[in-house]
Structure 1
């Protein structure tokens, strides 16, 4: 039976991948997590190369999906060595173990490998990351492709989907400030209206990954670099407006026309997804439909969002 190991299965994207594969395939799944390992997941610190090697040898997967990473730009900027340990060294260890096993491996990267000055970006455009996060992910891409010929880098933009807390996605992390601004006599919430993002629904990404895994299982692997992205351009201010509407909040939102983040971020890194589209791979759920599903599934109390409901 075809077996897939999902590394980082407890995270925002990892959960979506596991849900998609469990619901639509008869494949055997092996799952790892670190801080939030569940009953069907193996606790694995991907920074431990020997532990990674032992895990892959023991599980003997046919394919590996790496969904574990340090994805917070500010955290990467403050501690680039820690970011490299997860985003570069761990990818190399997993890819090396995959090659020894003869497994195909898919690693998640980011639109932040580009500087945002000349979108849309094709797979073969020259990267030029502006911050430590982008640099670490670009190094991770090279670590994967240098370690195995049977690997695929999948670049993705801003992700959102079913959450366990508001901070899991940069989309839903806006909700507490939006809700606070709707209270009587509250200060308005300042929202970036400078950078354009392309929010992408994690169940759609999981669908894409399942399609890629199916091609590999059928003997038609996609290797090298591919990209997937939502197709609705939105600033944080645009996203906040949609969130407020979906939550029924009369929020006070103020657009910021210039970058306000301490860590430099690119202005527009729209990813060209034509390589996958040409293969007939892809699915895009409209943002207004997807975000309502996310919010409906996550309980909250009036104007005080809470994980407990």
Structure 2
């Protein structure tokens, strides 16, 4: 029996990962959550070091995946202490507890550790974050690698997938504005056409992580820093156009060619995925196919977008 703990199982990536791992024969999955605990999850505040240590000691996993984080750049900018507690200190605590049990730790990081001026970025490219979120995730990477030799960082870009609310992903968060612009008296929705993103489907990432876990289970542990990314570049404006097409809405969209976010964001942080590709790891579902799956599974009520 191979036992995996998923930290942050109620989140966008965590849910997809639990769904993927639950299909594996002879694997036991222990899922934790904090803000949205469910009957099949263990309630755990990863900011509570003593609770984390007791949990890991009790469960004694073979591997631990950290999918919990404060991932909202604006929140990190205004509350750096919260960002550090979740993205740095908790990673260190979890990695240390797992290391004491001889468990492999996989921590999720972000393309925002780079400044976006010289893509594509390799795993060993020099990080240069532009905002507090990127800084906190970079410090989290360093916390992991300094705490355990039995660990790996997986950097990911903009994620989307099955949702519980439009706001859960920066991709689907555009839907209410798109829908409003398509109404009879709707104003044009202004969408960023400057920053280039690489939307990446959470079920694809879950498969990547499962394949990495399989290698560890077979004694071929992946260490250090690796990256995975979708391969379709698009701006928020281009994402919005494709969302409108998928929803069959005649949206009124206006591209904005200069940065509009209050928190600075990088221009293009394309992550090279060559390490994992060389290992035969990975899958990329085309965006138009994947987003239609997401929209079909989420209750869509046209003009309300609620």
Shift in Å, 1:24: 3.3
Shift in Å, 1:226: 0.1
Instruction: State the TM-score, normalizing by the size of structure 1.
Output: 0.98
Q: CA separation in 2, counterparts of 1:248 and 1:43?
A: 40
Instruction: State the TM-score, normalizing by the size of structure 2.
Output: 0.99
Q: Say whether 1:93 aligns with 2:58.
A: no
Q: CA separation in 1, counterparts of 2:29 and 2:23?
A: 11
**Helix, strand or coil at the partner of 1:154:** strand
Q: CA separation in 2, counterparts of 1:32 and 1:282?
A: 25
Equivalent runs, 1:168-187 vs 2, <5 Å:
168-187=168-187
Please tell me the root mean square deviation across aligned C-alpha atoms, in Å. 0.5
Q: Say whether 1:125 aligns with 2:139.
A: no
Equivalent runs, 1:79-228 vs 2, <5 Å:
79-228=79-228
Shift in Å, 1:166: 0.4
Q: Which runs of 5+ in 1 are unaligned?
A: none
> What whole-Å deviation, never above 9, does each CA across 1:183-205 have from its counterpart, x for those lacking one?
11211000000000000000000
Q: CA separation in 2, counterparts of 1:281 and 1:300?
A: 34
Runs (4+) off by over 6 Å: none
1:230 aligns with: 230
Q: CA separation in 1, counterparts of 2:242 and 2:51?
A: 44
Shift in Å, 1:305: 1.2
Q: CA separation in 2, counterparts of 1:25 and 1:221?
A: 20
**Helix, strand or coil at the partner of 2:186:** coil
Q: Say whether 1:302 aligns with 2:302.
A: yes
> What whole-Å deviation, never above 9, does each CA across 1:54-112 have from its counterpart, x for those lacking one?
00000010000000000000000000111000000000000000110100000000000
> What whole-Å deviation, never above 9, does each CA across 1:171-218 have from its counterpart, x for those lacking one?
000000000000112110000000000000000000000000000000
Shift in Å, 1:44: 0.3
Q: CA separation in 2, counterparts of 1:186 and 1:20?
A: 40
Q: CA separation in 2, counterparts of 1:256 and 1:50?
A: 48
